Structure 1
Amino acid sequence: MLTLRQIEVVRAVMVAGSIAGAARLLAVAQPGISRTMKHLEDQLGIKLFLRKGGRYVPSPEAVGIFEQIHEVHKKIEDLQFSLGQLERGRGVELSFGSVPSIANVMVPRAVADIKRRYPDIRLDIDILKIEDAVDYVMLGRGEFVVMSYRFDHPSILFEPLAKGHLVCIVAPDHPFAARPFVTAEEIAACPLIGIDPADPYGGIMAGIFARDKLPYQIAIRARFGTTVVALVKQKLGTAVIDVFTVADVDRRDVAVVPIAEQTEFQTYIARRSDVALSSFAESLIASLRRIMVETVARA
């Protein structure tokens, strides 16, 4: 049986018409081509080439073999072309969902990363409420959902993504703006924006308030982080928000202040447990995880 390397060498000799020419085509030394040809002819028991006018031409008994070699080489070229297209993501569409807090800043950064690696890949990104994630995954609308928390479901696998924490955001001229950190008690004494105990992140802060028996007043409820940030810019109150949402906020517009209490949380990738992720999905998740970890480290 001929190896792919032997096929490559024989075709190079056919095209170049000489051992030296074949060596140049393959960027190898002439002796290597000569040894391969001698070994192959000994193995087949026939002479593959004859010398005519200083060139190598197919022997009569090898003409049929060369036709087959040409077909094999053409199929290999087609395969290499298809693999090259796949390496660029050509013909691939990756669909996934994300909760807004991670979709606002982290997901676009990961998408930019994956597009540099696979320039031709198409992406379909759904921004989902937490309660919509189950249907999205189970109905196969996308490969996975980026989640801000996990829950028990017999058919959904939750894989840890990255840990984050909460921060306090205020207008630049707020008294908290110059502080190295603020406490839950200090935050609770302010008019608050967007802290909903039913929200995973809001539940963290509400839990701290309840533990410390701190009364607090939510002056404005706003579900999405971008809206919360915009409200703080208007000096309408103080907010507690996740570190990922404020990763690209202009600090001239909003001051980001650490919170003294422990507010760490874990994010997840949710996917069907009976369906394997594509290599493109795995690449995007790896980029997203790295970007999120780097964001927290810089915060």
Structure 2
Amino acid sequence: MEMRDISVFRAVMQAGTTSKAAALLGVSQPAVSQSVRKLEIDSELRLFDRVRGRLVPTREALALMVEVDRYFMGFEMIEHRVRSLKSFGLGRLAVAALPALGSGFMPRAIGAFGLGSRCIQMSFQIMSSQQVYQQVSSGQLDFGLMADELSLSGVEHSEFLKVRGVIVMNAQHPLARKPLIETADLLEHPFLALNPEDSSRRRLEGGLRHEGKALRPIIETPYSNSICELALQGVGMGMAHPVQALDYLARGLLMKPLALEICFHTLLVFRPGPPLSENAKDLLRVMRIQLASDLERVVKALGTTC
């Protein structure tokens, strides 16, 4: 198989028609059709059904496209890295965080980091813990923040944060004036839950089982920010990451301590081998300072220790 034919195949899959793919590639439509046919012959796969003059991808084409996209994404990242090296030399920093710390905490930390005064380019991504792990282990990130729900094979790690979850609700909730939420309250009012695979959700259900109780959520969602938004809209109350919940206090969200101690664990992960750059170490130092500040705000909002 030739790389040119694979590139044409990708263009057809992305554009949807041979004519649009031809325009995208700057070649003729017959040339596109010829490349597609050649790839089918070389691969011994039927990649498209011909339906009323159009190419309809087969299941084999869809499966192949996953691998083709993975290849091209890697190549495009190399191109991006080359451009970055031309512009910034080795002064580049790539980090990622899970959503609970990515939307509010990390921008605050990056702001305090003083990026504008440093001769570096930074890539900051918000992604799932699975994606953080994959990109750290493949060397695409200097470090990342992820939850403790996955295997950590192939990466170095340390605990970045362990903090008790909080119950969030709006000011009109029946329990808005209650200072401490009991486990029985979680069963008597509509509850918003993180997805079953979330480690804090599993810990919550384990604690309830120990008391002979079972959680019956009305909604399951993967992220604490969704819990906070739904709580603000009066859908119910739910357990959320307290640092994430800080971002919603100004809009009227209430945070309450839960009598049962259920913690969120965040891990700092980085690739073994070369030491972190000085810029990465500086950012981590600023992140820890910002974290201490955020946790003080959590304590103030709860009127207790976290």
Kindly state the Cα deviation for residue 236 of structure 1 after the two structures are TM-superposed: 0.6
Q: After the TM superposition, which parts of structure 1 deviate over 3 Å for at least 4 consecutive aligned residues?
A: 116-121, 150-154
Counterpart residue identity of residue 234, structure 2: K
Alignment of 1:129-168 (within 5 A): 129-149=128-148, 151-168=150-167
Contact 2:149 2:198 in 1 (8 A): no
TM-aligned CA distance change 1:196 to 1:153, over 3 Å: closer
Shift of 1:120: 4.3
Any conservation in 1 of the 2:133–2:146 contact (CA below 8 Å)?
no
SS at structure 1 position matched to 2:249:
coil
Give deviations 1:134-191, integer Å, cap 9, x for gaps: 3201211111111222654342111221221100011101122111110122123221
Residue number in structure 1 paired with 2:177: 178
1:235 aligns with 2:231: no
Q: Find the aligned partners of 1:90 and 1:216 in 2 and give their Cα distance.
A: 53
Q: Report SS of the residue matched to 1:214.
A: coil
Deviations 1:253-276 (A, max 9, x none): 211111112123432210112231
User: Kindly tell me: are residues 189 and 96 of structure 1, through their superposed partners in 2, closer, same or farther at Cα, counting changes over 3 Å?
Assistant: same
Q: Does structure 2 retain, via aligned residues, the 8 Å contact 1:190–1:238?
A: yes
Q: Structure 2 CA distance, aligned partners of 1:179 and 1:100?
A: 29
One-letter amino acid matched to 2:284? I
**Deviation, structure 1 residue 129:** 1.1
In the other structure, the counterpart of 1:194 is 193
Paired letter, 2:101: I
Equivalent in the alignment of 2:50: none
SS at match of 1:94: strand
Question: Residue 163 of structure 1 contacts residue 293 of structure 1 at CA under 8 Å; is this kept in 2?
Answer: no
The normalised TM-score by structure 2 is 0.63
Structure 1 residue ranges without an equivalent (≥5): 1-88
The whole-number CA distance in structure 2 between the counterparts of 1:169 and 1:124 is 32
**Alignment match, 1:222:** 221
What's the secondary structure of 2:280's corresponding residue? helix
Question: In the alignment, what sits opposite 1:169?
Answer: 168
Who is 1:253 aligned against? 252
Inter-partner Cα distance in structure 1 for 2:103 and 2:256: 20
Distance 1:154 1:116 in 2: 32
Paired residue secondary structure (1:266): strand
Q: Which residue of 2 aligns with 1:210?
A: 209
1:96 alignment partner in structure 2: 95
Q: Which secondary structure state, in structure 1, belongs to the residue aligned with residue 248 of structure 2?
A: coil
Q: CA deviation at 1:119?
A: 4.4
Once residues 152 and 162 of structure 2 are traced to their aligned partners in structure 1, the CA distance between those partners, rounded to angstroms, is 21
Q: Any residues of structure 2 matched to 1:1-299 within 5 Å, and which?
A: 92-115=91-114, 118-149=117-148, 151-299=150-298
Work out the CA distance in 1 between the residues paired with 2:119 and 2:238.
Answer: 40
2-side partners of 1:204 and 1:251: how far apart?
29
Q: Work out the percentage of aligned pairs sharing the same amino acid.
A: 18
Letter in 1 for 2:141: G
Q: 1:220 to 1:153 in 2, by over 3 A?
A: closer
Shift of 1:234: 1.1
SS at match of 1:245: helix
CA 255–93 in structure 1, closer or farther in 2 if over 3 Å, else same: same
Question: 1:189·1:216 contact (CA, 8 Å) conserved in 2?
Answer: no
Instruction: List per-residue Cα deviations over 1:22-54 (Å, max 9, x = no partner).
Output: xxxxxxxxxxxxxxxxxxxxxxxxxxxxxxxxx
Per the TM alignment, residue 97 of structure 1 is displaced from its structure 2 partner at its CA by 1.1
Is contact 1:155–1:274 with CA below 8 Å preserved after alignment? no
Secondary structure of the corresponding residue to residue 188 of structure 1: helix
Q: Secondary structure at the match of 2:202?
A: helix
Q: How many pairs does the alignment contain?
A: 211
SS at match of 2:289: helix
Tell me the amino acid that sits aligned with residue 176 of structure 2: A
**Secondary structure of the equivalent of 2:295?**
helix
SS in 2 for 1:248: helix
Give me the CA root mean square deviation: 2.2
How far the C-alpha of 1:252 sits from its partner, in A, is 4.9
Counterpart for residue 62 of structure 1: none
Identify if the C-alpha distance between structure 1 residues 100 and 215 changes in structure 2 by more than 3 Å, giving closer, same or farther: same
Give the partner amino acid of 1:297: E
Q: Once the 2 structures are TM-superposed, how far is the Cα of residue 124 of structure 1 from its aligned partner?
A: 0.7
TM-score by length of 1: 0.65
Return the offset for 1:200.
2.0
Counterpart of 1:179 in 2: which secondary structure? coil
